[in-house]
Amino acid sequence: MADSVFAPWNDPEAKPLIQFKGVTKRFGDFTAIDDLTQNIYEREFFALLGPSGCGKTTLMRMLAGFEEPTEGQILLNGVDIGHVPPNKRAVNMMFQSYALFPHLSVYDNIAFGLRREKKPKDEIHARVKEMLRLTRLDRFAQRKPHQISGGQRQRVALARSLAKAPKLLLLDEPLGALDKKLREETQFELMDIQEKTGTTFIIVTHDQEEAMTVASRVAVMDEGRIVQVATPDVIYEAPNSVYVADFIGDVNLIRGTARARPADSPPEAAVEPTPETKPAPPKATASTSASIAERTGPQPNTLGRALHDKLLSPIFGKWIEDEPRRLPPPSAAEAPRAAAPQTPAAPPRPQDIPPGGLEIDWSTGQAAIIAANGDPVLDGEKVVLALRPEKLGIAKTRPDAPNTLKGKVIDIAYLGNISTYHVEIEGGVMVKAQAANTRRIARRDITWEDEVWLSFTATAGVVLKDE
Ligand SMILES: Nc1ncnc2c1ncn2[C@@H]1O[C@H](COP(=O)(O)OP(=O)(O)O)[C@@H](O)[C@H]1O
Ligand SMILES: [Mg+2]
């Protein structure tokens, strides 16, 4: 169990390793980086994520010294490096198209930079040995690049970049050339190596899962600016804009107009549960695979699960089946309700909807969506409810939930571990719901053209201002 969480960005005393201060980079009259200010801390694994052309490589090239900022400053350990040449910076950059010397062995490729620096022979040997061990290439030291696999070549390039023990390693799409499985394995190796060496890594990727897997923080970029910087869990669970919500993972964006809900008066008349209401899901006793199998509610997708495993389990312990993951700080919705009329074991009922937040009018003929976690200052505004598909339940009968939508299954994407249902809601809006295929026959009864009910809690979505 980690007793202290690595989060120097929350520590006002922490000195950043890198500071971008109002950095602008123009090429002619084109602005590639637009007045960017950002701190990055020692030992961070910082990921830059964004569409092609948003300025990721330009930012890295300025750090490495291949480009100079048009305006602003870049500091390394408090010192302006704007005019320090690349080879005088404690920074190494590994490019997307790294090239190994084909005629040199793995060993000699790794030793190359050290020899150029005319280091003593035994020092070079010791360092190369250490790098070989770190990247698990000991057995391949004498092979030529064409005699090893793509993943191994990638590790040689990494070992070569780390050999000079840079303070900062810049990785520009380092895994782009690898196939998916190898890429995933290499991601874990990268994390391992980063931890063992204590080097600060900045990685550029256009693959959001990769960024979420490896990074301590993710910066989402758009047109030369950083739109949001946060830990992967916050980026996923609490995006600050429709752009970020839409860029990271799969999301339903439901547009409507917000209306503030009364903060403390009792919620409006409860709907009587319909006779066909499902029984409550079994109360999970322990996070065993059996309880996963029994669970009938929505499940997080693999990304969400991986994030939980990576980030939250050291803090909160193992996966707890009946506690939906909610990262935004506890809202009124989660506050314990005094004098609840039901016994603790009773299923959640519509009258349990916490007060406050927003209601969203989104489609004529449809009940307003209740978002108890919505910010009441958005009253009267055009808003977007960002709702992750794994937060929606799907059932053939109307569940007893704060928000229910009736629709028809148009498409089903079966992905083995999960299925995504594309449901057309009455009125024409398409909504995706994702369910884990934990039980072999579960949900097989839901098929194309079926009438279904989608349901979600009053805090399942994030209410964002429409841009
Ligand atoms: N040397 C250059 N001259 C002119 N325009 C450039 C140059 N380098 C990059 N750009 C432009 O700056 C923008 C950002 O490029 P880049 O940083 O490579 O984006 P990314 O790495 O995010 O795909 C792009 O529109 C690109 O065309
Ligand atoms: Mg690039």
Please tell me whether residues 43 and 178 are part of one structural domain: yes
CB-ligand 1 contact for 57 (6 Å cutoff): yes
Ligand nearest the Cα of residue 67 is 1
Residue range 338-393, pLDDT digits in tens: 333 434 444 445 557 889 999 999 998 899 999 999 999 999 999 999 999 999 99
- Indicate whether 273 pLDDT > 70: no
**Position 318 confidence tier, pLDDT thresholds 50, 70, 90:** very low
Q: In terms of residue numbers, what domain contains 388?
A: 252-265+276-325+354-465
Residue range 402-441, pLDDT digits in tens: 999 999 999 999 888 889 999 999 889 999 999 888 765 5
Q: Whose CA is nearest to atom 7 of ligand 1?
A: 27
Q: Is 2 a member of any domain?
A: no
Give every CB contact of residue 180 below 8 A, 6+ residues apart in sequence.
none
Please tell me whether residues 232 and 281 are part of one structural domain: no
Please tell me whether residues 116 and 261 are part of one structural domain: no
Please tell me whether residues 229 and 88 are part of one structural domain: yes
Residue 52 near residue 203, CB atoms below 8 Å: no
Please tell me whether residues 83 and 152 are part of one structural domain: yes
Q: Across the strands, what pairs with 56?
A: none
- Indicate whether 277 pLDDT > 60: no
Q: Across the strands, what pairs with 19?
A: 39, 75
**Position 395 confidence tier, pLDDT thresholds 50, 70, 90:** very high
- Indicate whether 316 pLDDT > 90: no
Report the residue among 29, 57, 97, 202 best suited for mutation to probe ligand 1: largest number of ligand atoms under 8 A from its CB: 57
Please tell me whether residues 318 and 213 are part of one structural domain: no
Separation of alpha carbons 159 and 92, rounded Å: 12
What angle, rounded to 10 degrees, do the helices at 106-116 and 121-134 form?
130
**Position 21 confidence tier, pLDDT thresholds 50, 70, 90:** very high
Separation of alpha carbons 218 and 204, rounded Å: 10
The domain total for the chain is 2
Cα 277 to the chain's mean position, in Å? 35
Provide the 3-class DSSP secondary structure of residue 245.
Answer: helix
pLDDT reported for residue 444: 59
Look up the pTM and report it: 0.79
- Indicate whether 320 pLDDT > 60: no
CB-ligand 1 contact for 183 (6 Å cutoff): no
Q: Whose CA is nearest to atom 25 of ligand 1?
A: 53
The first and second tokens of residue 56, run together, are 């990721």
Q: Is 117 a member of any domain?
A: yes
Domain of residue 412, CATH code: 2.40.50.100
Separation of alpha carbons 241 and 391, rounded Å: 19
Separation of alpha carbons 316 and 396, rounded Å: 34
pLDDT reported for residue 307: 53
Determine whether 289 is exposed, middle or buried from the number of CB atoms within 10 Å of its CB (0-12, 13-18, 19+). exposed
Domain of residue 124, CATH code: 3.40.50.300
CB-ligand 1 contact for 51 (6 Å cutoff): no
Mean pLDDT across the stretch 156-177? Answer: 88
The beta strands (E) that lie in 56-128 are given as 71-76, 79-80, 91-94
Please tell me whether residues 258 and 220 are part of one structural domain: no
Please tell me whether residues 103 and 69 are part of one structural domain: yes
CB-ligand 1 contact for 25 (6 Å cutoff): no
Residue 160 near residue 112, CB atoms below 8 Å: yes
Please tell me whether residues 237 and 379 are part of one structural domain: no
Q: Which atom from ligand 1 is nearest to the alpha carbon of 55?
A: 17
